[in-house]
Homo-oligomer: A and B are copies of this chain.
Amino acid sequence: MNMDVRIPHDLDPETKADTISREKAYSHQLQQAGEWVHIWRNAGQYSNLSIFDVKDNERLHEILWNLPLFPYMAIDVTPLAVHPSDVALLEN
């Protein structure tokens, strides 16, 4: 899923700094819990490509809705499945 961030330029700087710092802590916590499996920076963009592994869509929505930067994000969700060419399937 892609998350594009667009913070309004007239947002008060303190609110901005606080929101970004809470976003980072929130992401760390979900990565450590194993639900936010990958996060990459899209080079040259204020956006990321993330992979989540959650039990259902309810949980996915709960995680995203509570992102501190959610009000400033455009999120694009793509459901993923195992690919038949994945080498992990060879090992089983």
Contacts and interface: CB of A to CB of B under 8 A. Distances in A.
Contacts of A28: 85, 87, 90
A45 B78 CA distance: 11
A16 to B, nearest CB: 11
The copy count of this chain in the complex is 10
Say whether chain A's binding surface is mostly helix, strand, loop, or mixed.
mixed
Nearest to A74: B45
A32 interface: yes
Nearest to A40: B80
Nearest to A1: B44
Contacts of A85: 23-24, 27-28, 31, 39, 48
Interface in A58-75: 58, 60-61, 64-65, 70-72, 75
A57 B80 CA distance: 7
